[in-house]
Amino acid sequence: MKNTHEFEDNKEFREAIENLAEWLKTADKILIGAGAGLSAAAGLSYLDEELFKQFQPEMAAWGYRYPYELFQHEPWPQAREWAYNVRHIHFVRYVFPPAELYKKLRKLVEDKDFFVITSNCDRQFMRTGFPMERVFEAQGSYDRLRCTGRCTRETWEIKPYLDKLLPLIDSETFMIADESAIPYCPYCGAPLATAFRAFEGYKEERQRYVDFVESTVGKKLCILELGVGFNTPVVIRWPFERLAYYHNHAHLFRVNKEYKEWPGHGGYPMVPRELKGKATEMPYDAAAVIESLYQRKYFTDKDE
């Protein structure tokens, strides 16, 4: 696994890992927060130029470099919007495989009382066998569509539209060739878009997360944050700091690596000074941390 050995030679890395391993082992409860940095560490990065060339060849040919550049692009006609989104979602959700890194993370915690909150929409937790009653996908997922006119809370499965629209992408114009195939709301006629957050069952999922956090009162709580930056800090990062601060028996491990190849992205492992003694900054790749923990756990299990 990339970078693991590089970090294993680092004394601070080893000490932080030992400390984290001890907390994971002895904690009554484990709360995991996962952001884009975890999927990036698993090989699915929205900053990866090579990957982008593979699944968005037209956009790459036009000079775009990676998905992040297109998060807020100029308005496109629906026919292009759909060509782009269909390619993106099809690749992230169906072509990219269930990641080994996520599976290892699951094996690290599956015999413990744990819960995951994630801002990732790629469904890797579901695809790698996490019990979904222990996962809160706080930003929703790519799987469903909603009405952009907000006339209804009903949502629609995206898969049939992906299957229908993929073969209709014209690679000359990078548009959906047959516009009548583009989905619009059956009630008000507004365009449909990915149903981030606004999906059936959101409230119930959120409640399970809240219940879990409440159940940690008076318990030893290990908080493990993996690749959570400042895109949406109100979802995971700031609540975790607050929880670590007020909880009387918790420790926050903040894993966040600086991507030197993409300046300005990631690399905010720092914790507020008020959390001194209650939090550990880990400026490492999430893959190196999980791999390192996984190897330790594996050897421990074998020895016993």
Judged by the rule CB under 5 A, the positions of this chain that interact with Zn ion are 147, 149, 151, 185, 187-188, 190
What's the min distance (Å) between Cβ of 192 and Zn ion?
8
What's the min distance (Å) between Cβ of 199 and Zn ion?
15
Residue with Cβ nearer Zn ion (149 or 239): 149
Cα(121)–Cα(129) distance, rounded to whole angstroms? 16
Residue with Cβ nearer Zn ion (98 or 149): 149
Cα(102)–Cα(203) distance, rounded to whole angstroms? 25
CA-nearest of 67, 79, 60, 78 to 168 is 79
Residue with Cβ nearer Zn ion (103 or 146): 146
Residue 50 main-chain phi, psi, to 5 deg: -65, -45
Residue with Cβ nearer Zn ion (160 or 186): 186
What's the min distance (Å) between Cβ of 189 and Zn ion?
7
Cα(145)–Cα(185) distance, rounded to whole angstroms? 10
What's the min distance (Å) between Cβ of 150 and Zn ion?
7
The tally of CA atoms less than 13 A away on the side-chain side of residue 136 is: 22
Residue with Cβ nearer Zn ion (192 or 224): 192
What's the min distance (Å) between Cβ of 183 and Zn ion?
11
Residue with Cβ nearer Zn ion (70 or 190): 190
CA-nearest of 39, 21, 38 to 222 is 21
Strands (E), the chain: 29-34, 114-118, 135-137, 144-147, 156-157, 169-170, 175-176, 192-194, 221-226, 250-255, 279-282
What kind and span of H or E run contains 21?
A: helix 11-26
What's the min distance (Å) between Cβ of 9 and Zn ion?
57
What region does 197 belong to: left with phi over 0, alpha with psi -120 to 50, or beta?
left
Question: What is the SS3 assignment for 221?
Answer: strand
Cα(294)–Cα(304) distance, rounded to whole angstroms? 16
Residue with Cβ nearer Zn ion (195 or 288): 195
What's the min distance (Å) between Cβ of 162 and Zn ion?
20
